[in-house]
Amino acid sequence: MHLLYMIFIDPFVQMGSAPDLLAQTLWEGLVGGMLYALIALGFVLIFKASGVFNFAQGIMVVFAALTFVGLNDVGLNAFLALGLTIVVMFGLAFAIERSVLRPLVNQPDIILFMATFGITYFLIGFGEFVFGGDPKVMETENLFLPKGSVTYHTLGGIVQLQKLDVAAVIVASVMVAGLAVFFSKTRIGRALRAVADSHSAALSVGISLEQIWVIVWFAAGLVALVTGIFWGARSDVSFALEIIALKALPVLILGGFTSIPGAIVGGLIIGVGEKLGEFYWGPLVGGGTDAWFAYVIALVFLLFRPQGLFGERIIERV
């Protein structure tokens, strides 16, 4: 009886009695969720265009962040370093298309999936070779990103927002909106959706698969760079970041593998759910819920909507 009370009643009593803490938790969940959403977005872009689940998205985040920090450390101006990193990410997209995707065209999806494991381990080795294995500090103030926090006295207590988090939410929102318009309204966007729907039909109207692949891997690389900068600024930049890719899985299960809005909403749900779970229900099991709670949320969702929130409805023809 006491246990049921602790699970179903007590957390909500706490939420009601300390709304400032609830607001703080929600905000932190939203910020974390935005970053999950960005990682998931990288997956969705590539999955839509080539049907490949890109295991390397996580390491691409690390690699982009490392390149940026590395160039910055050599003494380059932060914006020059940013520009160069973007060039490097384009080069990476180009190289992956040439050396991995093109030779494997028309192979089963599982082969391409395994190839992305190859890319992952290559990037880990190459990254360590060039930048070393030590964790690095992301210097965001060189990019004019704000530091410190603002405090609001509200809801009968205080709510504290990190300025960097606010910046992350704004930058991420702008980028997502930009990508959404780009992919829905322009020729290249149409071509991308065309490729996602039917390879052979896309080829027949003269859309070059190679070009589209480079563009989506590049877009995924840009998303990875932004993710890497903000995530790196919250902790530091190390190869351990790579496992955040696994956090994108529940987001994708929730949002559907092919939906950009799904990635965003899914990311926010997972982020908020995870924080709420950690703060209100975590003490019941002695904490440490952040390692697994996201998967539980995804699992519960799967029971009710196997195609995800926004995924295309699966209609089996018998």
Partner 1 sequence: MRAPGGSEVAVGDVLLSVESVSLSFGGVNAVSDVSFDIRKGEIRAIIGPNGAGKTSMLNVINGFYQPQQGRITFKGETRTKMRPYEAARGGIARTFQNVALFRGMTALDNIMAGRSLKMTKGFVWQLLRYGPAMAEEVAHRRRVEEIIDFLKIQEIRRTPVGRLPYGLQKRVELGRALAMEPELLLLDEPMAGMNMEEKEDMSRFVLDVNDHYGTTIALIEHDMGVVMDLSDRVVVLDHGIKIADGTPDEVKNNQAVIEAYLGVAH
In the complex, the residues that contact partner 1 under the rule CB under 8 A are 178, 181-182, 185-191, 193-194, 196-198, 200-208, 215, 312
Q: How far is the CB of 48 from partner 1 (least distance, A)?
A: 10
Closest separation between CB of residue 206 and partner 1, Å?
3
- Cβ nearer to partner 1, comparing 3 with 205: 205
- The distance of closest approach from Cβ of residue 258 to partner 1 in the complex, given in angstroms and rounded to an integer, is 9
- Residue 267 beta carbon to partner 1: minimum distance, rounded to whole angstroms: 22
Cβ at position 56, least distance to partner 1 in Å: 23
Tell me if residue 137 falls in helix, strand or coil: coil
CA distance 83 to 102: 27
Nearer to partner 1 (CB atom), residue 151 or residue 204: 204
Pick 17 or 184: Cβ nearer partner 1: 184
**60 contacts 42 by C-beta, under 8 angstroms:** yes
Q: Left if phi > 0, otherwise alpha if psi is -120 to 50, otherwise beta: which for 146?
A: beta
Contact 134, 66 (CB under 8 A): no
Three-state DSSP class for 154?
Answer: strand
Other CB atoms within a 10 A radius of the CB of residue 94 amount to 15
Contact 276, 6 (CB under 8 A): no
DSSP one-letter string for 64-76: HHHHHHHHHHTT-
Q: Which is nearer to partner 1, 183 or 293 (CB)?
A: 183
Q: Smallest gap, in angstroms, from Cβ of residue 223 to partner 1?
A: 14
Nearer to partner 1, 127 or 311 (CB): 311
In the complex, least distance from residue 308 CB atom to partner 1, rounded to whole angstroms: 15
Q: CB nearer to partner 1: give 160 or 208.
A: 208
For 194, what's the count of Cα atoms within 13 Å in the CB-facing half-sphere? 18
- Exposure letters 222-235 (e unless 16+ CB within 10 A, then b): bbbbbbbbbbbbee
Q: Which is nearer to partner 1, 16 or 206 (CB)?
A: 206
Report whether 89 contacts 224 (CB < 8 A): yes
Residue at 218: amino acid letter: F
